[in-house]
Amino acid sequence: MSDPVQQILQEINRKAEEEAQKILDQANKEAERIIKEAEEFATKQFQHEAHSRLILLTRQILGKAEYEGRIRLLKAKDEIIKRLQQKVKERLKKIILGEDPGISYADILYRLLKEAVSNIPSDNIIIISNARDREILERNLRKFEEMLRSELGRKISLKLSSDEVNCLGGIIAKSEDESFIYYNTLDGRLKEAFRKLRGRLNRLLFRQFLKEVYK
């Protein structure tokens, strides 16, 4: 075979090879695109479903653990506060029954009365208490009246109501026309003290004892 013919043959072969390779390359490229698109679609679907289910699952599992833990923690704190309240009540009862030699319950009653009278802009005061405190007040009524007059500089007149109040101790004072009432029972003061000290109690009792947990 002559050289020119040989050259033409080679050229035909080369061009065919080139064309075939080009066709295969394009097909491979297209196949890659098709698969990539499918993968992107699947990933999007997966992410969408997995994400929403994960949020729900996290809420279910972690939320439940957190919620249950908080409830149990609150119950524990509540129990301690109740223990504390019980301690205060026990101490109060001792004082009321005169079992605490350092504190006179009559003095306490006078203080409670003075605070109440100071807050009522009337000189004729009616006092309501429980039966036991009524006896103490009856015994000391004139003395307390004198003390109030001298300490407050007002012509105070005290009367004991025939009504009784069911409480640990303390008094309810009101003006004769009942337009002013001052509640100064020990029960009320106890409740108020715990309300006022709640933040401090939380800090003193719980944060101090829990801080090591958070270290």
Partner 1 sequence: MALDVLLEAEFYAQKKIEEAKRKAEEIIKNAIMRAEEIKKRENIEKRVEEFIEKKTSELKKKAEEIRRSFEEQIKRIYEIPDNVLSELAEEILKEVIGFE
Instruction: Scan residues 146-205 and list those touching partner 1 (CB under 8 A).
Output: 186, 189-190, 193-194, 196-197, 201, 204-205
- The interface with partner 1 within residues 80-99 (CB under 8 A) comprises 80, 83-84, 87-88, 91-92, 95
* Tokens found for residue 90: 């026990």
Task: Candidates 3, 177, 178, 212: give the one binding partner 1 (CB under 8 A).
Answer: 212
* Residue 84: exposure state from Cβ atoms within 10 A (0-12, 13-18, ≥19): middle
Closest CA to 97 of 66, 149, 133, 59: 133
Query: What are the start-end ranges of the H helices in 59-185?
Result: 64-96, 105-118, 131-152
171/188 Cα distance (integer angstroms): 10
Q: Which is nearer to partner 1, 21 or 119 (CB)?
A: 21
**Cβ at position 165, least distance to partner 1 in Å:** 17
**Cβ at position 157, least distance to partner 1 in Å:** 23
- The interface with partner 1 within residues 114-153 (CB under 8 A) comprises 115
Q: Does 111 bind partner 1 (CB under 8 A)?
A: yes
Closest CA to 90 of 164, 186, 198: 186
Query: Helix %, strand %, coil % for the chain, to 5?
Result: 75, 10, 15
- The interface with partner 1 within residues 26-65 (CB under 8 A) comprises 26-28, 30-32, 34-35, 37-39, 41-42, 45-46, 49-50, 53-54, 57-58, 61-62, 64-65
* Tokens found for residue 117: 């009278």
Task: Candidates 15, 143, 155, 159: give the one binding partner 1 (CB under 8 A).
Answer: 15
